[in-house]
Amino acid sequence: MKQKRKSTKRKPDIRIDIINSKNMGDALRQSEEKYRLMFEHSPLGVFYFNNKGIITDCNEKFAKTIGSSREVLIGLDTLRLPDVKITAAIQGALEGKLTTYEGNYKSLTANKITPVRVTIVPIVSEDKLIEGGTSIVEDISERKKMEELIFNEKERLKMTILSVGDGVISTDNRGRILLLNKIAEQLTGWTQQDAIGQPLDKVFNVINEFTREKYENRYSKLLGINNNREFVDNVILISKEGIEYPIEHSSAPIKDEDNNINGVVYVFKDFTEKKERQDKVEYLSFHDQLTGLYNRRFFEEELIRLDTERNLPLTLVMIDVNGLKLANDAFGHLVGDLILKKVAEIIQKQFRSDDIVARIGGDEFVVILPNTSFDEARLIVSRMDTIISNEKVDSINLSIACGWETKHRHDEKVVTVFKKAEDNMYRQKLSEHTSLRYKTLDIILNTLYEKNNIEESHLKSVSQLCVELGGALKLTNEQISELKSIGLMHDIGKIAIDEKILTETKSLSESDWIEIRRHSEIGYRILSSINEYAVLAGYVLAHHERWDGTGYPKGLKGEEIPWQSRIVAVADAYDAMVSKRHYKEALSKKDAMEEIKRNAGTQFDPEIAKVFIESGLGEEQS
């Protein structure tokens, strides 16, 4: 009996099916999770809608783009979305059409419009039925801004080219005109409308300035090169009407991103205008700006040029304006400039047109006289000196010092001749120096009195008080005489202070006080320039210093302050208190003495203040 064969067919393993099913479930869940992450974190807005156009889901990006929330949007009819194009696009998707368009989404919650690019795709089931669709919404605000920026930049560049002060012409790669700006239209005689499409040579008709030969096909040379090229040669542009303009121009190829040459741009301008500027610069480089005379640079170059045998005898005249620094310190630099211009005007009139008259320093002038002897120069200088000495500027008598020397032989060094002329000038200046400065000092004091008649009375009163206080302090006659002069001139620096400030009836501002406090320094500079008064200058400088160190201008303290200045300080303060001013009434003599006593040891030297009070000087003076 045959044994029954066992079946080799394996029974289904339920465990494997379960495992496979679990793996498929896991894979599906992982796939869904990946999809969900992509959906949620996509940089693009995404929403789904069903076959009735109702939104079934959307991500946060879409909600933010539209200015709403997912809770509000899910279940919303797409017809209510703030986009006029959405209805047709949704309807198209439900009919199986893919639609892409750009539009604007207006926020549902705020007055904000967001430009977007929208793609709407139908969703089709396995049995070919359209179940709805999905929309991808891209916020294109930045792109729109960039497009607007590029457009504006192009427009700005175009307007710049059209309005730039130089002529501009651009061509295509065949040398045909694409653009002319206004200046190019004026110079060529062509309007942009007539010129567009014309060959460059026809519109930009240029010839060589010297040979008069026509430049042909200038653009063709540039079309074959890789680097910009500038033509600096001067040429003549002949306009449509036949008018010739000397121009200078540069030209360069126009290249795209791939370095291909697409045309040429020409920039040009009327050279006449630049020539005028060059002439002006050249003039200024050789002329003194204040007086209009030649400057030192030109003088030195001309001296070398004229130093030849055919110009012998060659005479150099040195001229120095006396008292200019003193006038500047006392009356200001504007008056000093008027003096220089007046002297320059007179000097220039006294010499021949081919003589070289130059200002070579602040107050120094020099004249080169070709073919002029020493004696001939003497006559010219004498005449000039007489004319200048009879002139005034703001009550100031003009004065000059002159010296001259002549080169007779070619082997003489002109530098030596110049030095001798300069030495002769300084010799004359020293001989007249003191008398002129005395005169100027008198003018300064008289001008100060005229500006403010109260100052004259004040200065004389302070001077007398200083004399009497010096006697009470048992000073020598010489010291008392010095105090008298200091008292007369302690406020001389007020000559340079604005008269409106000195006569102001209201309280002075801080800036006004700063200006007034300058007077002691100005007085110092004025007196320092006169040898005989130089020693007094330091006392005038310090007469507003205080015993406690809080004065000005240096903040000196105690015995650091010269005793002469301490005496003047007491006399000055007392007279100011008992005198009526524009801005205050006078104090009584008793109150003024009390004020001196109260400020002894702070504002005033206590010993000097004590002598002043005990001697009763203030009462006698008043």
What letter does residue 199 receive in the DSSP assignment?
B
CA distances from 281 to 79, 125, 275, 277, 474 (A): 74, 86, 10, 6, 67
Domains of the chain: 30-139 (3.30.450.20), 147-275 (3.30.450.20), 287-440 (3.30.70.270), 452-621 (1.10.3210.10)
Residue 593 parent element (H or E): helix 589-598
Cα 152 vs. chain centroid, distance in angstroms?
30
Secondary structure of 21-68 in HEC code, one letter for each residue: HHHHHHHHHHHHHHHHHHHHHCCCEEEEEECCCEEEEECHHHHHHHCC
Question: Is the pLDDT assigned to residue 162 strictly greater than 80?
Answer: no
Closest by Cα among 510, 309, 261 to 407? 309
pLDDT at 85 > cutoff 50: yes
Q: How far apart are CA 379 and CA 385, in angstroms?
A: 10
Calculate the CA dihedral of residues 454, 457, 463, 465 and round it to 10 degrees: -100
Structural contact between residues 470 and 480, judged by C-beta atoms closer than 8 angstroms: yes
CA dihedral 372, 377, 383, 388 (to 10 degrees): 110
Give the end-to-end CA distance of the chain in Å, rounded to a whole number: 171
DSSP state of 103: E
Report angle CA 309, 312, 314 to the nearest 5 degrees. 125
Residue 95, Cβ density class (10 Å: 0-12 exposed, 13-18 middle, ≥19 buried): exposed
What pLDDT does residue 50 have? Answer: 93
What is this structure's pTM? 0.54
The predicted-structure confidence for 397-424, as pLDDT tens digits, reads as follows: 899 999 999 999 999 999 999 999 999 9
Q: What is the mean pLDDT of residues 559-585?
A: 90
d(CA 422, CA 410) in angstroms, rounded, equals 20
H helix or E strand, kind and range, residue 252: strand 244-255
Q: What is the pLDDT of residues 247-257, one digit of tens each?
A: 888 888 877 77
Distance CA 82, CA 94 (A): 19
Give the separation between CA 567 and CA 564, rounded to whole angstroms: 5
The vertex-354 CA angle with 352 and 356, nearest 5°, equals 90
Does residue 576 have a pLDDT over 80?
A: yes
Mean pLDDT over each residue of the chain, to the nearest integer:
85
pLDDT of residue 555: 95
Does residue 567 sit in helix, strand or coil?
helix
Residue 153 pLDDT = 72
**Is residue 525 within 8 Å of 327, Cβ to Cβ?**
no
Query: What pLDDT sits at residue 1?
Result: 47
Q: How confident is the model at residue 618 (pLDDT cuts 50, 70, 90)?
A: low
User: Under DSSP, is residue 233 helix (H, G, I), strand (E, B) or coil?
Assistant: coil
pLDDT score recorded for residue 486: 93
For residue range 387-397, list pLDDT tens digits in order.
999 999 987 88
- Counting residues of the chain whose pLDDT is more than 70, the rounded percentage is 87
CB atoms within 10 A of CB 621: 17
**What is the C-alpha to C-alpha distance for residues 540 and 487, in angstroms, rounded to an integer?**
9
Per-residue burial over 552-562, b if 16 or more Cβ lie within 10 Å, else e, is beeebeeeebb
Q: What are phi and psi of 162, to 5 degrees?
A: -70, -25
DSSP annotation of 209 reads T
C-alpha–C-alpha distance, residues 482 and 30, integer Å: 110
Q: What is the mean pLDDT of residues 264-286?
A: 80
pLDDT score at 446 = 81
Contact yes or no for 80/74 (Cβ under 8 A): no
pLDDT of residue 218: 56
pLDDT of 581 above 70: yes
Q: What is the DSSP letter of 530?
A: S
Cα separation of 436 and 547, whole Å? 37
Give the residue ranges of DSSP H helices in 398-533. Answer: 414-451, 453-472, 477-489, 499-502, 510-516, 519-528
Residue 255 is predicted with a pLDDT of 79
Confidence of residue 462 (pLDDT cuts 50, 70, 90): very high
One-character DSSP codes across 465-494:
HHHHHHHHTT--HHHHHHHHHHHHHTTGGG
Q: How many other CB atoms are found less than 10 A from the CB of residue 419?
A: 14
Q: Where are the beta strands (DSSP E) in 259-387?
A: 261-270, 314-321, 356-359, 364-369
**pLDDT score recorded for residue 450:** 78
For residue 343, count CB atoms less than 10 angstroms from its CB and return exposed for 0-12, middle for 13-18, buried for 19 or more: buried
Where b means 16+ CB within 10 Å and e means fewer, 344-370 reads bebbbebbeeebbbbbbeebbbbbbbb
Q: Given pLDDT bands bounded at 50, 70 and 90, which one contains residue 564?
A: very high
pLDDT at 226 (0 to 100): 47
pLDDT score of 35: 78
